[in-house]
Structure 1
Amino acid sequence: MEFISIELCPALTSNFQQPSPASRLTLPFPIWDVLWVDGQSVTTMTFDKRRELLQTVLNPSETISITPLYDDGLQLFLGVKQQGLEGIVQYNSDAPYFLNVRPKDVITKIKAYQYVTCQVSATRKGAFGWGLQLNGKHVGILEFPPHKDILSKFHSQAKRLVRNENKDWIYLEPVVSCQVRFQCFTKDGKLRSPIIEKLVDLTVA
């Protein structure tokens, strides 16, 4: 299965050379469900039955594994939250699989949200967007507008904080703090899907 490997190679050029074996990485591919077997749909089977079938048709290897299941959802959730992961998924083991929909009584995502206090460092012109800072570093863009009361309080101070701007952004003195809820940190240290919960400091000299 060639798609399991990722080759680290330079941009395609006329003198392209095949990368050495040392530059190949193995990408783990976890499997948690099976929907088709030998050209036949098995979506009408319960999740438990599909998992039993998966055990018979898939041979785990270095690159492909079957995702384990856990009975103690609370313990799993607490462990995921402690590691800073995004969350867990709860399945109704007696339900069939529904294509292109996610019924609430069949599959439930439980997010392990994290919270942090950030400073608003910029506002985007046109489409809504606030640049966020944490410890003096840019950590992402707030794409979802907060409650209108938060917007009103923020805009009452923002004009006094402008320090620079370009055609897309207005840059502010990062003195307005807000509590932000987010899913997890990305690999480059950004907040995934940040949402402002409340403003925590509107003190402007």
Structure 2
Amino acid sequence: MFISPMLLEYAADNKPFDNDNYITELKLDGIRLIVSNIDRVRLYTRHNNEITANFPELVDNIDIPPGTILDGELIVAGSDGKPDFEAMMERFKSKKSKHKAMFCAFDIIKYKNKDMHNLPLITRKEALETSFSDSQYAAKSKYLLGRGTRYFDLVKSQGLEGIVLKEAQSKYEIDKRSSKWLKVIAYDMREVYIVGYRKSEFGWLLSDGQRPLGIVELGVKSHERKAGFKVFQQLKTKETKDMVYLKPIIRCQIKHRGYYKSGMLRLPVFERFIV
């Protein structure tokens, strides 16, 4: 049985805060996963794609009671113990991958056939604690009351993705993006050159001046697109079927979530032009 999960919104200005009416959790860098045991254990992505057959080791070893549905994140830990998104995607695409997947549960939607979504989050957390025993295949996410600012600073210093702040009395809003759950992402900032643009769909090619760093698609407002396009016409060096390449003159500031092993920026977001 699939239940469409409750989704996050960004905290105001992507800033953490301290409020004892909220719980604070680590934001895990993986794939959202619904684990359901109604007739048998089944695994679903947030888009209702059943992936039970992809992870037989989890199905065989996640011991939750019949009539129970959990919400959480599917992760692979890297050699440093931190969630490794690239390794997770490699394991997601192939059962032959040697990466070990693990389910981290942070909420319980149904427990022993009892609907839990209308109960306060803090009550659901108590039920989650009794729903299964932690193992190498499944564990429960830890949380704090309040202390969002200090926890975020610690998370960022460790190079982790960010935190989630959730109202302790909030209900589980099925299939909704809710301001009751707020994410704060530990972005890194960088200055880069814009050295090209796509001809069809929007995207600016980024570079450090020596090599490409990926394409930014997010965060660019319409007036910035128009202003950039006018200037770019004076900086063309060559064209291909899909791309126009530019002299490395125009710089911008972007925020991003680290680097792929290829050296490309992960999820770059445009912040501003640098004049």
In the alignment, which residue of structure 2 is the partner of 1:96?
171
Give the secondary-structure state (helix, strand or coil) at the position aligned to 1:25: coil
Deviation sequence 1:135-177 (CA, Å, 0-9, x none)? 5232221113623453344334322322221111111122211
Provide closer, same or farther for how the CA distance between residues 145 and 87 of structure 1 changes in structure 2, counting only shifts above 3 A: closer
Larger Rg: 1
In the alignment, which residue of structure 1 is the partner of 2:206?
132
Partners of 2:226 and 2:173 in 1: CA distance:
43
Letter in 1 for 2:141: T
Q: Gapped runs of 5+ residues in structure 2?
A: 1-54, 60-87
Partners of 1:152 and 1:100 in 2: CA distance:
36
Provide closer, same or farther for how the CA distance between residues 145 and 167 of structure 1 changes in structure 2, counting only shifts above 3 A: farther
Letter in 2 for 1:136: Q
Report which structure shows greater RCO (CA 8 Å, sep ≥6).
2
Q: How far apart are residue 182 of structure 1 and its match? A: 2.5
Partners of 1:76 and 1:137 in 2: CA distance:
35
Deviation sequence 1:119-146 (CA, Å, 0-9, x none)? 1111100221101112523222111362
Asked if 2 retains the 8 angstrom alpha-carbon contact of 1:85 and 1:184, the reply is no
Q: How far apart are residue 61 of structure 1 and its match? A: 0.4
Asked if 2 retains the 8 angstrom alpha-carbon contact of 1:86 and 1:184, the reply is no
Q: How far apart are residue 93 of structure 1 and its match? A: 1.0
TM-score (norm 2): 0.61
Provide closer, same or farther for how the CA distance between residues 30 and 182 of structure 1 changes in structure 2, counting only shifts above 3 A: same
Q: How far apart are residue 68 of structure 1 and its match? A: 0.8
In the alignment, which residue of structure 1 is the partner of 2:150?
75
Letter in 1 for 2:114: Q
* 2:161 is the alignment partner of 1:86: yes
Give the secondary-structure state (helix, strand or coil) at the position aligned to 1:35: strand
> Number of residue pairs matched?
189
In the alignment, which residue of structure 2 is the partner of 1:4?
58
TM-score (norm 1): 0.79
In the TM superposition, 1:168-179 aligns within 5 A as 168-179=242-253
Partners of 1:24 and 1:144 in 2: CA distance:
33
Asked if 1 retains the 8 angstrom alpha-carbon contact of 2:109 and 2:117, the reply is yes
Specify which of 125, 129, 141 is matched with residue 55 of structure 1. Answer: 129
Specify which of 193, 214, 220 is matched with residue 119 of structure 1. Answer: 193
Give the secondary-structure state (helix, strand or coil) at the position aligned to 1:85: coil
Partners of 1:164 and 1:200 in 2: CA distance:
24
Letter in 2 for 1:4: L
In the alignment, which residue of structure 2 is the partner of 1:147?
221
Percent identity among equivalent residues? 26
Partners of 2:100 and 2:219 in 1: CA distance:
40
Provide closer, same or farther for how the CA distance between residues 88 and 145 of structure 1 changes in structure 2, counting only shifts above 3 A: closer
Give the secondary-structure state (helix, strand or coil) at the position aligned to 1:155: helix
Partners of 1:145 and 1:38 in 2: CA distance:
44
